[in-house]
Structure 1
Amino acid sequence: MTYSIGEVAETLDLTVHTLRYYDKEGLMPFVERSPSGQRLFKDSDIEALKIIQCLKLTGMPLKEIKGFIQWCQEGDSSLTQRYEMFLERKAKVEAQMEELKKTMEIIDHKCHYYMTAVEAGTEEIHKN
């Protein structure tokens, strides 16, 4: 079964423009085209695009994502590079999560601060 670019965009909550941009940037060499040039997406293409979205969410630049896609195209000879890349991404996400945890602690504190101030009708409650 194949899907249109519009169907894929809707499935992945992306715009058609974004998918065309990814294609222009060389992130979708795996997508086949019809004789008229229309992109024909398969289930495996959608899964590959989910990985691209995941890497993008980690802050990975498109240039590096393109390198990853090229490694995938090379096959087993690049397994070590891909594994190491994901270990690096994992470490970055773990660091981001720690930062977000610290941020959440501050937000929780401020929520408690303002909740008690609202209940008391003044911030003076915190100055004692």
Structure 2
Amino acid sequence: MSTAHYTPGEIAERFGISLDTLRYYEKEGLLTQVERAPSGHRRYRASDVELLYLVRCLRDTDMPIARLRDFAELVRDGDHTIPRRVDILADHDARLTERIAELQERQQAIRHKIDYYRGVLAAADDEEIAR
């Protein structure tokens, strides 16, 4: 990869996404206006890569596209929007914390059921050995 610009293929490979997903993020306004090389091919700057990393992080933690778009617009609007960005991220973090707690509860229930079924299997094995 070059240090100044990245091709769509390089970006897709780096983030493990398809070119279609990358174009979707552009269409939805999650990335800035992507530069074009003299050949007309799209190319991404380091700032695009940084923003895409955060977009993927937020998307992977279930932030809705509309909220992501709002956040990306704030980033593009400059540093005076940092307080709003902090609010959005703090709200998302709180929701994520709640979701993690819910998932941990579900995981405990699943583990309990696994232990139960293993006990049933062990008892069945013991019974078969006793015969």
Match of 2:84 in 1: 81
2:19 counterpart residue number: 16
Q: Quote the offset at 1:35 in angstroms.
A: 2.8
Give the structure 2 partner of residue 125 of structure 1.
none
Structure 1 segments unaligned to the other structure (5+ residues) = 123-128
Q: 1:111 aligns with which of 91, 102, 114?
A: 114
* Equivalent of 1:100 in 87, 100, 103: 103
Percent identity between the aligned chains? 35
Residue in 2 that maps onto 1:51: 54
Secondary structure class of the residue paired with 1:97: helix
Give the number of aligned pairs.
122
Aligned-partner residue type, residue 93 of structure 2: K
3-state secondary structure, aligned to 2:81: helix
TM-score, normalised by the number of residues in structure 1: 0.88
TM-score normalized by the length of structure 2? 0.86
Unaligned regions of 5+ residues in structure 2, if any?
Answer: 126-131
**Where do 4+ consecutive residues of structure 1 move more than 2 Å?**
none
